[in-house]
Homo-oligomer: A and B are copies of this chain.
Amino acid sequence: MGTPSSHADQTELAICAAFPTDLTMLLHAAAGRMTDDLDLAAVQMGLNDVRDWLVLAALDDGRQRTQLELSRVVCVDKTTLISVLDRLEKHELIVRSVDPSDRRVRIPAITPTGRKVYAKFAIARDMAEACALDGVDQSGRALLMDLLARIAHRQDASLSGV
């Protein structure tokens, strides 16, 4: 699926070179940079892109979820999720089983193989993130995460009238 070697979204990476002071572009650039590294690591262990390990991460907690619930959790369109699950199932990293109490729904579950692959990826991910924050002290990291979470979860921008 796609060309894993290229950026997930090419607008993100190099913007910063031109406009280093803009918050939004910096966020995109930083996110794109991290994703590039993570996609690379994912490809090295047979996953395709960010969605693959996102789904595995969600399934790794063992909770039973329908595909629709899963698509909401990882915020991937339910249509797109199908192709992701198809691929993961083909590689035997997950299985889809029919819920006996509701034959409409499919319950995707991670396999031992999938768990192993995800664990391996998680190590690479943690390494990449540690590397990205190398030299930043603990309070700085906490502040960064807090600010990012605040921006991400902020409810409304209320910039209606301009």
Contacts of A95 in B (CB 8 A): none
Q: A34–B29 contact, CB under 8 A? A: no
- How many monomers of this chain does the complex have? 2
Q: B19–A24 contact, CB under 8 A? A: no
Q: B34–A24 contact, CB under 8 A? A: yes
Task: Find A145's partner among B23, B50, B131 (CB 8 Å cutoff).
Answer: B23
Question: How many Å lie between the Cα of A82 and that of B136 in the bound state?
Answer: 41
Q: A125–B24 contact, CB under 8 A? A: yes
Tell whether A85 is near chain B: CB-to-CB under 8 Å. no
Tell whether A1 is near chain B: CB-to-CB under 8 Å. no
Contact A159:B145 (CB < 8 A) given known A16-B153, A34-B23? no
Interface size class of A (residues with CB under 8 A): 35 or more
Tell whether A14 is near chain B: CB-to-CB under 8 Å. yes
Q: A27–B16 contact, CB under 8 A? A: no
Question: How many Å lie between the Cα of A13 and that of B31 in the bound state?
Answer: 12
Task: Find A58's partner among B18, B123, B148 (CB 8 Å cutoff).
Answer: B18
Tell whether A98 is near chain B: CB-to-CB under 8 Å. no
Q: A24–B129 contact, CB under 8 A? A: yes
Tell whether A21 is near chain B: CB-to-CB under 8 Å. yes
**Which residues on A are within 8 Å of B, measured CB to CB?**
8-35, 37-38, 40-41, 44-45, 50-51, 54, 57-58, 72-77, 120, 123-125, 127-129, 131-133, 136, 140, 143-145, 147-154, 157-159, 162
